[in-house]
Amino acid sequence: MLLGIAAVALIVILIINENGDDGPPAPLSPAELTELLGSWNRGNDAFDHFDFKLAESEFSAVAERLPEEPDVWVNIGIAAMNQDNDGAFQRARRAFETAIKHDPDHRHANHCAGILMKHLGEFDPAEACFRKVLASDPHDPTASYYLGTLMLNKNEAEAEELFKKAIATEPHQQSAIYQLFGLYYSQDKESQAESLVALFKELETAGTGDKAGIVYSEMGHYGSGIRRFPRPLGPEGDRSGGASYSVKSLLGDALAPAAHAPLPWIPWADGTSPAAMVKEKFAPALGGGIAIADVDGDGDLDVWSADGQSAGRLYLNAAGSFSVAPSSWGVQDGAPSISGCFGDYDNDGRPDLYVCCAGPNRLYRNVDGERFEDVTGISRTGGGNVFTTQAVMADLDADGDVDIYCANLADIDAISDGRQRWPSRERPAKNNLFSNDRTGTFTDIAERTGTAGRHLSRGVIAADLDGDRDADIVVLGGSYQPLLVYRNDRIWRFTEQTAASGLANVLADSMSASDLDGDGQPELLVWSGQPGIYANLGRMRFEERQPLDRWPGCVLDADNDGDKDLLTLDNLRLKTPEGWRDEPIASSLHPFTDVRSIVPADMDGDGVLDAVIGRAGNPPAIMRATLDHQDHNWIEIELKGVRETGKMRANTGGIGAR
């Protein structure tokens, strides 16, 4: 049976993918699949706990039944070599050789074999392995680093280029920085060496650099355990049914009819401020953001909704039934709300709320799961009198607490010369990047980090787009101007990668990131603007693969089959072995009306993902899900970030986990 795992807006799925270049593998019975999948998952869990003997035992049990699957042998080899003794090294060698025998070009197998051979002093075989990896993935930073170390005594010029390539791909590759510094120092290139020493020390102080070594977690992308089970789901477990959705009011009362809510351009007279008109006309048309979290700690997911007219409203969930939170919760004052997000900024284990407004934004601290306290002033997170369309709370500097990035549309107090309308492309507001100072205060460092933007900003997402385990940023320009892509280089360094990403000319009002094909890299889905699915080609490069003809929407596993499906207001697009299948949804709500957002979450605890609909000027609605079959398995996971000195430092809410 397949496990579907759902939590808040994060879906963690154990995916059974379609592999098998040598022909379709023999189908396994459900009992056999369950047994092997259990061993596979226990082996990966052992990796996470650095229990390599247990990992080797579990993966060896899988290899007895699937001896021709190279991924199994790679995991056995990784588990063995991390036990750090001669006998284990020889078992690892045999495992990698077996994997390469079945797939000579297997990147993980060649990469790990290269690390082992280098450790054992067998440099020529190691060089051949790393060259094989780089032949298929020329920009892998860890393979470039390792090959560079092998070239130091053979070809210094090639070693220099390899180290530079590793750093260019992964600017926080601390081992490559150190080796290149040493090479420059030996060549009396003092200025180049000094700049690298400064960068090395900064990464060392921050503790955010990546080091390459033979120990697990330092072996690079191709040195991590392979998570995906190597066999497809047999036909016995295939399901033809999907999920049925019914659209209702979140409070269970009559659903407010759909209203046409266009986004206006606001004219102004010469020398006047559009502030009043922005709050009266523009904010109500653009509001409708949704944020979901368990604010009172009762195990049910609660909903906060922006409506563009008021400060927003909190809805408390009691076993799937919602009610408006009493005024004692303290979230009813402030400028018109546009959107919001939850995140535990003070690491006390309770979700705090950041509200984006037509005017100064607000940060609310969750006090004992009983009320919110406005800490905007003391935290210095208001951002000024700007129109903020969206914000994200994410650990952008990998220091274990969440920071805040705000996408700002325009300055509300801008003065016109009589020839322009609001918002003006010529007068965008600068975006904010509030760095968490871990003292209850934040510092805006957008200008210093190069992330203040240069366009009108319609939205923002934060996701690991290049596979280096930190959050990159995409700022949406809406239908006004193209989006911007910022690569996170850690220690508060961001590099704009818009042109190199292949997204330079993309207009996007709404976007989400999700791994649709199960390769561990998130695709980008543009729901409006220039709708389409942009495939992640690796190293922060994207290519449009298929159009999207419906919006707004979200990604979720609607039928608990392990595949990502697409949900919009009037359609469920299920991913099946034969391709996409559309299932229409009867709804009185339609695109191009007042609907502004759709957020998936299991709101009634039945293991099936519902979706909350945010509406501009109207209370939220909900798409209640019912699964057409009852043989699905699911488990709910509450993420808890762990902080251990010298090992890890995760934010308490697990934001950014995958």
**Which tens digit of pLDDT belongs to each residue from 245-263?**
999 999 988 887 776 655 5
| Domain final residue pick, 529, 551, 573 | 551
> Could you tell me if 281 and 589 are in contact, meaning their C-beta atoms sit under 8 angstroms apart?
no
Distance CA 277, CA 266 (A): 7
Structural tokens at position 157: 């010029």
* Boundary of a domain, candidates 551, 584, 606: 551
Q: Are residues 195 and 77 in the same domain?
A: yes
Judge whether residue 270 has pLDDT over 80.
no
Same domain, yes or no, for 297 and 377?
A: yes
b/e map of 471-492 (b: 16 or more CB within 10 Å)? bbbbbbbbebbbbbbbbbbbbb
The whole-number pLDDT of residue 3 equals: 32
Residues 248 and 327 in one domain: no
Instruction: Calculate helix-pair angle for 107-119, 141-151, nearest 10 degrees.
Output: 30
pLDDT digits (tens, 9 = 90+) for 530-560: 889 999 998 899 999 888 877 789 999 998 8
400 pLDDT more than 90:
no
CATH number for position 340 = 2.130.10.130
Q: Count Cβ neighbours within 10 Å for each residue of 28-58 and write b for 16 or more, e otherwise.
A: beeeebbebbebbebbbebbeeebbebbbbb
Q: What's the rounded Cα separation, in Å, for the pair 30 and 39?
A: 14
Helix segments in 231-343, DSSP class H: 275-277, 283-286
Shared domain for 568 and 539, answered yes or no, is no
* Per-residue model confidence (pLDDT) at position 4: 33
Cα-Cα-Cα-Cα dihedral sign, residues 468, 470, 475, 476: positive
pLDDT tens by residue, 490-518: 889 999 999 999 999 998 989 999 999 88
The pLDDT of residue 8: 32
Mean of the per-residue pLDDT values of the chain: 87
Same domain as 368, residue 333: yes
Please tell me the predicted confidence (pLDDT) of residue 21. 46
pLDDT digits (tens, 9 = 90+) for 571-588: 999 988 888 899 988 887
Give residue 634's pLDDT band: very low, low, confident or very high (50, 70, 90). Answer: confident
**Residue 503, domain member (yes or no):** yes
Taking the model in full, what pTM does it have?
0.85
pLDDT of residue 295: 97
Do 368 and 419 lie in a common domain?
yes
DSSP 87: H
Q: Number of folded domains in the chain? A: 4
Question: Does one domain contain both 381 and 486?
Answer: no
Is 25 within a domain?
Answer: no
Does residue 474 have a pLDDT over 90?
yes
DSSP string across 120-132: TT-HHHHHHHHHH
CB 143, CB 222: distance < 8 Å: yes
Q: How far is the CA of 43 from the CAs of 4, 170, 658, in angstroms?
A: 18, 29, 17
Q: Distance between CA atoms of 643 and 6, rounded to whole angstroms?
A: 24
Q: 163 lies in a domain?
A: yes
Q: Do 307 and 186 fall within a single domain? A: no
The residue among 551 and 99 whose pLDDT is bigger is 99
Q: How many Å is the maximal CA-CA distance in the chain? A: 82
Q: For residue 285, what pLDDT band results from cuts at 50, 70 and 90?
A: confident
Q: Is 272 helix (H, G, I), strand (E, B) or coil?
A: coil
From the number of C-beta atoms within 10 Å of its C-beta (0-12, 13-18, 19+), residue 391 rates as buried
| pLDDT reading at 6 higher than 50 | no
Which domain range does residue 587 map to? 243-260+553-634
Q: Is residue 354 part of a domain?
A: yes
DSSP bridge pairs for 497: none
In a domain, 648, yes or no: no
Q: Are residues 131 and 42 in the same domain?
A: yes
Dihedral angle, C-alpha 529, 530, 531, 535, nearest 10 ° = -130
Please check whether residues 476 and 612 belong to one and the same domain: no
Radius of gyration of the chain (CA): 26
The pLDDT assigned to 655 comes to 77
